Amino acid sequence: MGQTHPQMSQTHHMSSADSAVDVSIMDGSEKKFDLSLTDKVIAATGPNAHPRLAQVMPSLVRHLHDFAREVNLTVDEWTTAIELINECGRMSNDRRNETQLLCDILGLETLVDEITANIVSSASVSGTSTPSAILGPFYRHDAPLLPNGSSIVKDLTPAVPWYDQAVADSAYITGRVLSHNPLFPDMPPTPLRNAIVDVWHTAPNGLYEQQDPSQPDMNLRGRFATDAQGRYAFYALRPVAYPIPDDGPAGKFLALLDRHPHRPGHIHFIVSATGHRTLTTQIFDDRDEYIEKDSVFAVKDDLVVHFEPRERDPQAKWSLNYDFVLEAAMMGL
């Protein structure tokens, strides 16, 4: 970041008579902050402000100003941070969302996902429905609707550079989509017919198809509708660890923090059914060395899965059975 690295300050708020002045002791010398600045910024919000903004901005301004005072943020450092954010904007387009990536490496998308789940869901609190995980920037709408039992691996031939790994990691993934009704918490979940399981993951080279011109359109993506017993089934690959895009400002920031960019191997899902809260989540392969060190902090214990060796199936060397439990949506909630 900037040139100067002043020590963190210790702040002492003065008595109420001097409440507009904050004294910060650095290296034995006293620095004074005009605390009324924070109050003035908060008070500048007008009576017709957007209600949610009027609610949240006082807290944001206080945290922002307290942070700047606490770390003795200098103009150089602030300018560097502004440039980082500007660079994120310049780099973002409909194929890449660098600002979201910056939030991800700071754990903000995971935190906001958790907050949202706490607000909309009662059952996840008691651990009965499947936990959510972040969407990430690589979802595509309109993946093909495929018959159960078919494969999301497209055009795999020995000419594909990662053919051998794809064969070694070929997997048959099955499970059910179940309904949990929070009004009857002790009732076992019941199967959901016609739920949609929307799935996507990277190729063994760690790239999603839209990042990799050598992959067919919509490779390793598909949607499956559950049968009358709530079952889905498809062929895919065991997922591999991959680095989040680190050739931009988010990557530069990771390097400055001495952090790696890797995500543990995972498969993304959006599971939806009429009358139920849509679940956005990921499952994580327990073989992965990054399982405890996800660069975007999305791993949750209940989402870690174990693939079993699969016998007598020329299409798959591994199998996984995983049930998704959706929460019935309460009217008016």
Tell me the residue nearest to ligand BEZ as measured from the CB.
136
Q: Amino acid identity, residue 135?
A: L
Q: Select the residue interacting with ligand BEZ from 238, 263, 277, 317 (CB under 6 A).
A: 263
Size of the site for Fe ion (CB under 5 A): 1
Neighbours of 32 (CB within 10 A): 12
Mention every residue, 6+ apart, whose C-beta is less than 8 A from residue 333.
120
Measured CA to CA, the distance from residue 160 to residue 163 in angstroms comes to 5
Q: Between residue 195 and residue 254, which ones bind ligand BEZ under the rule CB under 6 A?
A: 244
Residue linked to tokens 């650095």: 26
x-marked contacts with ligand BEZ along 272-311 as a string, rule CB under 6 A: ------------------------x---------------
Of 216, 245, 230, 260, the C-alpha closest to 321 is 230
Pick one of ligand BEZ, Fe ion, none as the site partner of residue 104 (Cβ within 5 to 8 A by kind): ligand BEZ
> What is the smallest separation between the CB atom of 178 and Fe ion, expressed in angstroms?
24
Nearer to Fe ion, 130 or 280 (CB): 280
Residue pair 311/319 in contact by the 8 Å Cβ criterion: no
Nearer to ligand BEZ, 254 or 328 (CB): 254
Residue pair 104/296 in contact by the 8 Å Cβ criterion: yes
3-state SS assignment for residue 102: helix
Tell me the residue nearest to Fe ion as measured from the CB.
136
Measured CA to CA, the distance from residue 231 to residue 178 in angstroms comes to 9
x-marked contacts with ligand BEZ along 43-82 as a string, rule CB under 6 A: ----------------------------------------
Pick one of Fe ion, ligand BEZ, none as the site partner of residue 137 (Cβ within 5 to 8 A by kind): ligand BEZ
Q: Which stretch binds ligand BEZ (CB under 6 A): 13-21, 60-68, 132-140, 187-195?
A: 132-140
Residue pair 246/261 in contact by the 8 Å Cβ criterion: yes
Residue pair 284/304 in contact by the 8 Å Cβ criterion: yes
Residue pair 157/163 in contact by the 8 Å Cβ criterion: yes
Pick one of ligand BEZ, Fe ion, none as the site partner of residue 296 (Cβ within 5 to 8 A by kind): ligand BEZ
Q: Between residue 126 and residue 165, which ones bind Fe ion under the rule CB under 5 A?
A: 136
Q: Between residue 89 and residue 128, which ones bind ligand BEZ under the rule CB under 6 A?
A: 101, 104
Q: Between residue 27 and residue 86, which ones bind Fe ion under the rule CB under 5 A?
A: none
Nearer to ligand BEZ, 94 or 311 (CB): 94
Measured CA to CA, the distance from residue 27 to residue 36 in angstroms comes to 25
Is 270 a residue that touches ligand BEZ (CB under 6 A)? no
Of 9, 47, 46, the C-alpha closest to 31 is 9
Is 137 a residue that touches ligand BEZ (CB under 6 A)? yes
Residue linked to tokens 């300018």: 79
- The contact set with Fe ion (CB under 5 A) reads 136
- The contact set with ligand BEZ (CB under 6 A) reads 101, 104, 134, 136-138, 244, 263, 296
